[in-house]
Chains A and B, each alone.
Chain A
Amino acid sequence: MGLITQTAQLYYGTGTLPYGGYQFISLVDVINNFRVAYVGEDKIISKISRADIKFHAMRGLQELSFDTFKSCKSLEIEVPPSLKMTLPQDYVNYIKLTWSDASGIEHVIYPASKTSNPTSVIQDALGNYTFDGSGNLLTQPVTIGSTTLGNFNSQSTTTDSDDLDWDDVMGTKYGIDPQYAQSNGSFYIDDCLGFIHFSSNIAGKTVILKYISDSLGTDEEMKVHKMAEEAMYKHIAHSILNTRANVDRNVVATFKKERSAAIRNAKIRLSNIKLEEITQILRGKSKWIKH
């Protein structure tokens, strides 16, 4: 009955990474378990194709990857002179970008929301648009990029304390915008071309990208943490019942609630809140804050 299939000697002795696989269950096992427990005579789903279960299971894995599972994807590079980093193959969205210093401490890099990489139109001396022989508009090759992006890359830092805009209004306004009050540098993600562009003060630094994927990139990734296993079953069941004809809407509504509850439970469990750690943080509640 036990779920461990290999001996302790084999597990500890072979040195095959990653260890700790027991905390996960593979998507194939989730699909097989679902079929055994939920599909069949006198069960909530009498008959269904495996392709349907697989579809909803994979969609569930995607959805839970975005906001429930722990993300352990990260990539470290040294920023090249081009000041850009290619988005990872399985990139869906970033969690944060940091650069690490000589002590290995990470400094968060913030996004530059007020820049972009627009398509740059080639104009003649009079400012008129230019066209090729087929009448198509001539634009700068994507490898060159736009003037806006070039200017962004060439800036040294984004810090409010030295912001010229603020110097202009000195004496008429006070205070700084906290989102710019840092000198770690900034980045801009060009989703169209799949690059992350950095400001020039990060050149040569070690940059770490922490990101989320949808857990469907490779077969090895298709696994679910056991704390979210029930959420997966409930998600699949609800999705199947919700897309079927002639299913009592009360049943669908019940499973919708069960799914939400199971996902909420999974989120709480996976947020890894430990009493001792919280206590330690709260011990700082009486600390004097100097102004």
Chain B
Amino acid sequence: MIPIDNVYQQVLALANKEQRGYITPQEFNLLAARAQMSIFEQYFYDQNQADRNLKNSTEYSNPDEMLDEKISVFKKVGLISTSAGVGTLPPLLYRLGMVYRTNTEIELEQLTEEEMLYVRKSPLVKPSAIFPAYYRMNHTQIRLYPNIGGISCNYIKKPTRPEWAYVVVNEKALYNATISVSFELHPSDESELVYKILSLAGIVIAKPGLGTYGDQQITSQITQEKQ
């Protein structure tokens, strides 16, 4: 978790240092959510890339494991409520992982709707209680074959929207830690988060130099991380 006030103060400090203006809390909150989602989404693509690269066996610097650690903050296990062969996914689901029977831990295989049509007609691979399967009906529901209950899933939850909350004292916004919501990202992503917000702020407050500065910093950081 990254404290939101830390990030806001850094963003303000860097923006003021460049004499490029002030970012209001409302603007910051908007940009913070966007930046968090952008970094969060990039985790999955980075992991995909790391999967394809050569691994090392060091304890703390294996890129694949580092990314898994970052994603682990968002990993959840939830129950899927079922009715007439239709399962309803947990409400905060962002990416669905393994679906399995809660009591026996038998995995349900994910198929496409088209595959399911043919698989159900094949005597050898037809879904059964021992080899169940499902397909995604829409973003909140799955269709189960056979019609079974007691289903759980591993999933990645959607990051909570960050918010720098404040109270106005003497016409100044004063940070309110009680109702603020911090970033859920891994602490190692703090500087990237700051630069990302700066990059976006450059567009919002029409200061291209600020955006360029943020972009350069991100590029430099990525180059250092992935060289």
Which residue of B is nearest A57, CB measured? B124
Could you say which residues of chain B place their CB within 8 Å of the CB of A51? 109, 111, 115, 119, 125, 131, 133
A44 close to B (CB within 8 Å): no
Given contacts A28-B130, A54-B131, A219-B130, contact A49 B111 (CB under 8 A): yes
Could you say which residues of chain A place their CB within 8 Å of the CB of B111? 49, 51
A24 close to B (CB within 8 Å): no
Could you say which residues of chain A place their CB within 8 Å of the CB of B107? 50
Given contacts A49-B111, A51-B111, contact A59 B124 (CB under 8 A): yes
Q: How many residues of B contact A (CB 8 A)?
A: 12
When A and B form their complex, what is the total count of cross-chain residue pairs whose Cβ atoms lie within 8 Å?
26
Could you say which residues of chain B place their CB within 8 Å of the CB of A49? 109, 111
Q: How many residues of A contact B (CB 8 A)?
A: 11
Distance, CA A51 to CA B109, complexed state (A): 8
Task: Give the secondary structure class of A's interface.
Answer: helix
Could you say which residues of chain B place their CB within 8 Å of the CB of A219? 130
Which residue of A is nearest B119, CB measured? A51
A28, A41, A49, A54: residue with the most chain B Cβ atoms closer than 10 Å = A54
Residue from the list B109, B115, B125, B130 in contact with A55, Cβ < 8 A:
B125
- CB interface residues, B 111-167, toward A, < 8 Å: 111, 115, 119, 122, 124-125, 130-131, 133
- CB interface residues, A 44-58, toward B, < 8 Å: 49-51, 54-55, 58
A sample of 26 inter-chain contacts (CB < 8 A) reads: A28-B130, A28-B131, A41-B51, A49-B109, A49-B111, A50-B107, A50-B109, A50-B131, A51-B109, A51-B111, A51-B115, A51-B119, A51-B125, A51-B131, A51-B133, A54-B124, A54-B125, A54-B131, A55-B122, A55-B124, A55-B125, A58-B124, A58-B125, A59-B124, A216-B124, A219-B130
Sort A-B residue pairs by CB-CB distance and give the 8 closest, nearest first: A51-B125, A50-B109, A58-B124, A55-B125, A55-B124, A54-B125, A28-B130, A51-B119
User: B-contacting residues of A (Cβ < 8 Å)?
Assistant: 28, 41, 49-51, 54-55, 58-59, 216, 219
